[in-house]
């Protein structure tokens, strides 16, 4: 574990970097005692591992596996945590008009076998019985799009229960920060993740907020070769710029994670329009020409 010294303070930032859920996680806590910090980080790691097992679609005895196994057959009773997570995911699907969707078809590679009804609208929830039913036999659900965001939120919850008043959970570049740095300044993207210090929005304050970034890496590669990729609006028949990167700031890593990719697919105007309608959300969009667009709330965060 790395202890970062600070000026004029007994407080230090204790950091540990490790691989969890297939991603690079870095957990930072502010404190004076390395043993205490190490114990707190252990608690956060245990919780992230628990979330990974909970949301796994490959565990034979897991609830997600059970839901998928009974697609088109019968509803499956799940625990309250899984139920609430699915319910929130469906709400975001509705909000983004399906741009975010935890459902997919079992025969994804064979387009002839895809079911037109296999989308988020085919997930049936029963609040009284706490059951989940996939009404189409070919559909499945998975939480790859929000699993690390949810794990980061849960890690923060455990750390706060253990008395961590200030810290950062960096889940593969998705940042969740709370409290203040040892110098009494708010966390920024750059201070929470030094790897992002060259980003044009690195000065955005994210204390008690979360930021998730979705990037078009194919676009990055094309731009580096001097080419600017374009996308075609098939309905209107004209080309529109592709987005290079989108960062969404919200109160939770789960929500930021869920919103970042849909904004990428919506484009600048539709993405900003949606974010500007919502409370406590902000975003920064960079297109393939490196032009920067910000939502109206971003000024309150800088």
- Residue 265 and residue 137 in one domain: no
Q: Which of 196-200, 216-220, 227-231 has the lowest mean pLDDT?
A: 227-231
User: What are the tens digits of pLDDT across the range 34-73?
Assistant: 999 999 999 999 999 999 999 998 888 899 999 999 999 9
Q: Does residue 235 come out as left (phi exceeding 0), alpha (psi in the -120 to 50 range) or beta?
A: alpha
**Cβ(65)–Cβ(224) below 8 Å:** no
Count Cα neighbours of 215 within 13 Å in the Cβ-side half-sphere: 11
The CATH number for 81's domain is: 1.10.3980.10
User: What are the tens digits of pLDDT across the range 105-160?
Assistant: 987 544 444 455 579 999 999 999 999 999 999 999 999 989 999 999 999 999 99
Domain presence at residue 203:
no
Q: How far is CA 276 from the centre of its chain?
A: 19
Q: Which residues pair with 132 in a beta bridge?
A: 76, 125
- Residue 154 and residue 31 in one domain: yes
- Residue 213 and residue 296 in one domain: yes
- Residue 231 and residue 286 in one domain: yes
Within 10 A of 154 (CB to CB), how many other CB atoms are there?
20
- Residue 106 and residue 242 in one domain: no
- Residue 216 and residue 296 in one domain: yes
- Residue 106 and residue 72 in one domain: yes
Mean pLDDT for all residues in the chain: 86
Q: Quote the pLDDT of residue 247.
A: 93
């Amino acid at each position: 574990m790395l202890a970062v010294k600070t000026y004029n303070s007994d407080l230090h930032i204790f950091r540990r970097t490790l691989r969890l859920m297939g991603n690079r996680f870095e957990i930072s806590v502010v404190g004076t005692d390395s043993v205490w910090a190490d114990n707190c980080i252990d608690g956060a790691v245990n919780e992230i591992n628990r979330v990974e097992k909970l949301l796994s679609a490959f565990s034979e005895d897991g609830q997600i596996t059970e839901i998928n196994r009974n697609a088109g057959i019968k509803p499956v009773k799940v625990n309250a945590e899984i139920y609430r997570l699915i319910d929130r995911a469906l709400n975001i699907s509705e909000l983004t008009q399906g741009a975010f969707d935890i459902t997919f078809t079992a025969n994804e590679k064979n387009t002839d076998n895809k079911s037109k009804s296999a989308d988020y609208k085919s997930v049936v929830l029963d609040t009284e019985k706490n059951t989940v039913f996939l009404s189409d036999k070919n559909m499945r659900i998975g939480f790859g799009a929000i699993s690390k965001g949810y794990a980061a939120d849960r890690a923060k919850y455990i750390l706060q229960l253990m008395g961590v008043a200030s810290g950062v959970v960096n889940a593969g570049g998705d940042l969740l920060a709370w409290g203040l740095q040892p110098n009494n300044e708010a966390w920024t993207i750059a201070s929470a993740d030094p790897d992002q210090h060259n980003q044009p929005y690195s000065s955005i304050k994210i204390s008690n907020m979360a930021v998730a970034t979705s990037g078009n890496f194919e676009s990055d590669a094309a731009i580096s070769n001097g080419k600017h990729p374009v996308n075609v609006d098939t309905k209107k028949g004209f080309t529109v710029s592709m987005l290079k990167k989108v960062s969404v700031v919200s109160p939770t890593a789960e929500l930021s994670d869920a919103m970042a990719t849909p904004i990428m697919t919506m484009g600048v105007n539709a993405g900003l329009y949606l974010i500007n309608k919502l409370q406590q959300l902000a975003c920064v969009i960079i297109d393939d020409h490196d032009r920067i667009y910000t939502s109206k709330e971003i000024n309150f965060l800088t």
